[in-house]
Structure 1
Amino acid sequence: MNPAGWIPSQNIPGLTPTDAVPPTTFNNTPAIAKPATTNQDRLNQVLEDSRFQMSRRRGPQEYSVNYFCCGEDLSDGTNFRKWLERIKELASQFIYDSDFFIKPSTNVHHERIGPAILLHSVDASLKDKLSALPTCFAGYTNLLNQFSSVCRSAQVTTFLKLLRVDPNVERKTVSVGN
């Protein structure tokens, strides 16, 4: 007597009709014995596999951040022009748009790569201010306003005026900056 569901005439690749012997019992044990694994073992295996995959595949954020060498950070604006060219080069290589920082962007992936490039290319004293800004464009604009040559010359002029101030002469503080 054949068990329910067994069709002796079904064609199974690799089996001839004489090899097709119906199973005698139905149980839930697999035909090939597999080692017993617990849920924790499976979870550990998945975690190990994902760590391995992450170590092999690094995202564009990490590549672009590691592309900057030490000593190229923007601290006082003296290397602003060199920094600006480097930022454009990185935007061209990793975002495929050399003008990425110059204009606002709505691309979610680029808005994750851009801040990583900016934050890892400036001095630590500027990172807090940049990380508080909502977009890369806002961060770039902030740095541009802070270190562009027109603003820089205004800063130097004000600083020179402050050096010429005689502290013994009583003046109002507001009049010093004018």
Structure 2
Amino acid sequence: MSSSDPNTPNDPYRKSPYGEPSPQQPGQPPPQDREQPRGHPQAPPSGPYDPYGGPGGAPPGAAPSKVNTSRMIFFVAAGIQALFSLLAIVTFAAAQNRLEDVYGDLGIGTGIYYTLFTLFLIHAIAGLVLAAKMPRGGNGLRVGAIVWSALLILVGLATLPLGFLWIVLGIVCIVLLSSTESAAWFNRLRT
């Protein structure tokens, strides 16, 4: 057989005996006779900048992952801080006589400890309220959350070495909430 024989297997003009379409000729566009699949609509392509961070964007009203992560950190950090503050206040109240004997030589009254742990408790409650209101959005809420995170760093500094975790969580929240994606979500139009 020669290469010009139309029955050779590599011939691009050869028809298939099974009714399948012949292979596409080099340099020719693909055939347009096939129908598009029906049923599921095609997803719109994601643009070069997606302010919500996900492929195809987040659904309208859904918070980006940075905001959701910050919200979960707020719930966890504020919840643990509230429990420890309540536990410290109850412990100081139960052992007040013994604490005055121990810390009386330092010249620090137990009222300072009550005040300190009450402030920690108020800070924790404020964090829980901010986390609960985060889905609503609003730039004032974002600024309040950043301020709360900065105060969380101060709480961590006041309670070192155990407060190192609060310092890290406060820094992470500030970074997440200060991103352009978070700012765009908090500043979105709300209905």
Q: TM-score, normalised by structure 1?
A: 0.26
Would you tell me which structure has more helix in proportion to its own residues? 2
